[in-house]
Amino acid sequence: MANNSPARQTAVFLVRKAVSSVITLIGLSMFVFLMVKLIPGDEARVAAGENATPAQVEAVRKSLGLDQPFFVQLLQFFGRLLHGDLGTSITTHQSVLQGIEQVMPQTIELVVLAIIIIISVVTPLATLSALRRDGATDVAIKLFVILSAAMPTFWLALLLQYLLGTQIGIVPISGRLSRQFNIPTQTGAVVVDSLLAGNPLAAWDGLQHLIVPAIVLALPFGAQLYRILRAELIQVLSREHLTVARAKGVPQRQLVWRHVLPNSIGPGITLVGIQFGAMTGAAVLVEGVFGLVGVGSYLTNAVAQKDTFAVLGGVLVIGVLVVVSNYVVDVLQLIRDPRLRAGQLG
């Protein structure tokens, strides 16, 4: 029986998920490798930059091992990845990994703020919708959600910047921090750095700069979460154990908090995990408009400069981020559901 103990089952679960995460990571790298191989034209020339001399191109070919057979190249590629070598940017001549490391915290700060907004707004809306299913409240919320999901992010960003910044002027609409503040960089995330520097005013200012971009970023993803949460809530509301809880006299409020919400958030947690990566991607559409520095603007610039390795490096890093966040989600689900701990599901 000790063989089936919860602790052991938990370990089995975590190891199994970790193994599958590693496999996914390998697959991810293969994708990127193949993408490099699929680039039309000469890879060495692309890597060396458009203005390189033939001699420079040959030097790059040698250094990247492009004269080697395919599988040797694949192995070398993995070898370089293990050392954190994602290649060198042809425009800045800086290591791609370093370049991304510098901008990543700022994007993560934006995405985390957006996720906080999503969770705190969507959860009550979806609950209200599910409880008043098909009533006027539900239909109104649903319409609002459908409408906000139909707005193109980049367009909404422009529109809000124009209206709030130019026309009304209630919030700062560009940059990360007003000029009067000077905060030393520690983590790279402005609000966090401000707090670390003991400057709450600067943190507040940074937050104001982030709030509109975060809302714009949050809207379409919030709509996704709303749909999945509402559907799951409705499903859970129809389950027998709720009838049982009602039959034993549990009042409505406690019913929702204790029996409905905890049982409904599973798919929502998984979705937010996936969204974490997708939002990092969608930051591309927002950061540029609001003059924020981040992975998004890094990638947009790289695309504009035809800096292929910088783009693919960014793609890979974000992929890794997604895999990691999915693993975190699996752990969260484990904490939430005792059946997972006993190895009964999944």
List binders of another protein among 3-42 (CB under 8 A): 3-4, 8-9, 12, 16, 20, 23-28, 30-32, 35-36, 38-40
Report in angstroms how near the CB of residue 213 gets to another protein at its nearest.
15
Neighbours of 84 (CB within 10 A): 11
Structure tokens at 134: 């098909």
Determine which residue in the list 47, 130, 284, 329 makes contact with another protein, applying CB under 8 A: 284
Beta bridge partners of 95: 88
Compute how many residues bind another protein; rule: CB under 8 A.
95
Q: Rule CB under 8 A: which of 288-307 touch another protein? A: 288-289, 299-300, 302-304, 306
How far is the C-alpha of 226 from the C-alpha of 221, rounded, in Å? 9
- 100 lies in the binding site for another protein (CB under 8 A): no
Coil, strand or helix at 269: helix
Q: Residues 71 to 90: which contact another protein by CB under 8 A?
A: none
d(CA 218, CA 48): 39
Candidates 277, 290, 292, 329; binder of another protein (CB under 8 A) is: 277
95 phi/psi in degrees, rounded to 5: -60, 135
For the chain, give the longest Cα–Cα distance.
82
CB 111, CB 215: distance < 8 Å: no
Q: Residue type for 55, please?
A: A
Which residue of 44, 118, 323, 329 would you call a contact of another protein, by CB under 8 A?
Answer: 323
Nearer to another protein, 18 or 23 (CB): 23
Instruction: Tell me the one-letter amino acid at 247.
Output: A
Binding mask 219-238 for another protein (x = CB under 8 A): -x------------------
Q: Select from 109, 138, 205, 232 the one that contacts another protein (CB under 8 A).
A: 138
